[in-house]
Amino acid sequence: MTDIPLEKQTTSALLYLDGISVSFDGFKALNELSFVIEPGEMRAIIGPNGAGKTTMMDVITGKTRPDSGNVFFEEGLYDLSKLDETQIAALGIGRKFQKPTVFEMHTVEDNLLLALKNDRRVRATLLWQSSPPQEQRIDAILDTIQLTPLRSRIAGSLSHGQKQWLEIGMLLAQEPKLLLVDEPVAGMTDSETMQTAELLKEINKTKTVVVVEHDMAFVRELGVKVTCLHEGSVLAEGSIDQVSQNERVVEVYLGR
């Protein structure tokens, strides 16, 4: 990347959202949102509709520019709020979208190949040759996401759950420092949901993960620190049990 890293800020955090505000013509999607993700942790983000979960993802990945506030990455080396999607991706932030967006016309294998951490420039892709280490890497990922038997299938023909996993696999292939996972189990069966939880835990052994999810059973299954957003800012933070005891959380979820 061409941009010069900022000097190290005094934060040990991998990701540090500092007072982010975003408003779409009047309506405040994010309101002075601040929180910290430590390296290697897994964080679940919950919250009712319109709490700003997806907007937060957009800000981190550069899809939306915040009106105010900064997003510091890697101990404050980079301010993501100044970079565009491509640069941010290149810094090692991978995103899985709410609605699975794999490349339908490509085989499972090619989907991974495209995601594989590699030189993204035109020349490189023109001259690219597959190499044993890369082959092994892909095999390994296929194994993790349990799609080995379907490696040469067209991604478009996969089941919903399989697509979700493929996309998670693509995240892994990017070898990002940080994974942003948006509603990974939406529309999955119970068993698929539980498998996904296992998968994410597995991934978390080596990577930092942020999961946005409504499915409480799933979040409980993950058993990690939970941040509850409401109206664009943090309402409560802590273990799932603490959060679900929290008066205000109960209020926003069960009513006023």
Q: Which residues contact 241 (CB under 8 A, 6 or more apart)?
A: none
Alpha-carbon gap, residue 169 to 111, rounded angstroms = 9
Stretch that binds another protein, among 37-45, 65-73, 194-202, 248-256 (CB under 8 A): 248-256
Stretch that binds another protein, among 34-42, 72-80, 198-206, 246-254 (CB under 8 A): 246-254
For another protein, which residue of 2, 4, 7, 121 counts as binding (CB under 8 A)?
121
Output b/e per residue, 17-40; b: 16+ Cβ within 10 A.
Answer: bbebbbeeeeebbbbebebbbeee
For another protein, which residue of 20, 170, 181, 199 counts as binding (CB under 8 A)?
170
Q: Verify binding: residue 159, another protein, rule CB under 8 A.
A: yes
Q: Verify binding: residue 39, another protein, rule CB under 8 A.
A: no
Q: Verify binding: residue 50, another protein, rule CB under 8 A.
A: yes
For another protein, which residue of 11, 107, 148, 195 counts as binding (CB under 8 A)?
107
Stretch that binds another protein, among 6-14, 29-37, 69-77, 155-163 (CB under 8 A): 155-163
Q: Verify binding: residue 191, another protein, rule CB under 8 A.
A: no
Alpha-carbon gap, residue 92 to 231, rounded angstroms = 29
Q: Which residues contact 48 (CB under 8 A, 6 or more apart)?
A: 230, 252, 253
Site track for another protein across 205-224, x = CB under 8 A? ---------xxx--------
For another protein, which residue of 74, 182, 183, 221 counts as binding (CB under 8 A)?
183
Q: Verify binding: residue 122, another protein, rule CB under 8 A.
A: yes
Q: What's the min distance (Å) between Cβ of 244 and another protein? A: 5
Alpha-carbon gap, residue 130 to 140, rounded angstroms = 15
- Give the interface with another protein as residue ranges (CB under 8 A): 25, 27, 46, 48-50, 61, 63, 85-86, 89-90, 94-95, 97, 101, 103-107, 109-110, 113-115, 120-122, 125-126, 128-130, 152-154, 157-163, 170, 174, 183, 186-190, 193, 214-216, 231, 243-244, 249-250, 253-256
